[in-house]
A and B are shown apart, each in its own frame.
Chain A
């Protein structure tokens, strides 16, 4: 969906930013978003406060709320699909290759 939505918005995107923080995602506010959700999911309390302030300054308070909500949703969905054995599809395996991931379930 990331690749498709970027194409639809006519935005550039570097998917490698998802796995490598040294890579600029090329999406507006993307670097601040990545720092925020990384600290949020890792429960890095000190880093989270600074990242939240930076995201708010970069993209606004609404972005902080929505980033928290979307992160919460995928915390839920990741657990749900991993715990119930939802099979990975062929399209997901091709994205895993784009991300530089070594393997994906179903191979």
Chain B
């Protein structure tokens, strides 16, 4: 059931267009995962049981990112790698799961039911590696210093998708320094939301 018609406001078209495009793309092969595997990550993000398809380490990583991200440690990521989950594939898991949770949260806020799973598309992962990506201060390879905007650099398609979604849901990176920007909420109101969400998620950053 969709009760959101009364919530339609100017400016939401850009959000809807980006989400629709990204949701569809989750069903296509990524860099290290097939479309079917990425759709399994959507199921895991929603707390559904995935009976087949994904390997154990990827399944565990998806569940951790979706439901217990604040409990993840460097040792856990090391352990996942020892069980066959490469750092680059792990980055793709983080990207797909975190975007799924973002989109489901947005829809829930607007009183919408969770959208249907993306349609799977045939194709093989690209295996594209980011030039210059290596381990630095964080647990995953990055091209430069690790930070929120660069954490997914090892998988450029995920880094780009995250940045685009960030720009429509919140602010573009270039707008972050504008303390007077308004988008339905004032900047202090937006930051109040951000702070509360981070607190509820036990986010350590």
Contacts and interface: CB of A to CB of B under 8 A. Distances in A.
Main secondary structure of the interface of A (DSSP, over half): helix
B109 A5 contact: no
A60 to B, nearest CB: 8
Interface residues of B, dominant DSSP: helix
Contacts of A71: 105-106, 109, 193, 197
A1 B187 CA distance: 9
A13 B189 CA distance: 10
A76 B166 contact: yes
Given A19-B199, A78-B203, A80-B98, A65 B105 contact: no
Contacts of B179: 1, 4-5, 8-9
Contacts of A85: 74, 77, 137-140, 146
Interface of A: 1-2, 4-6, 8-9, 11, 13, 15, 17-19, 25, 27-30, 33-34, 36-38, 40-43, 48-49, 52, 56, 59-88, 92, 99, 104-105
25 contacts: A1-B191, A5-B187, A27-B186, A33-B185, A40-B109, A61-B9, A63-B185, A63-B189, A64-B7, A65-B110, A66-B185, A66-B190, A67-B193, A69-B106, A74-B198, A74-B201, A75-B201, A76-B166, A77-B166, A81-B148, A83-B64, A83-B72, A85-B137, A92-B205, A104-B204
Given A1-B187, A65-B109, A77-B98, 15 more contacts: A2-B191, A17-B192, A30-B192, A34-B196, A37-B197, A52-B111, A61-B7, A62-B9, A74-B194, A79-B66, A79-B69, A80-B95, A84-B94, A85-B138, A88-B204
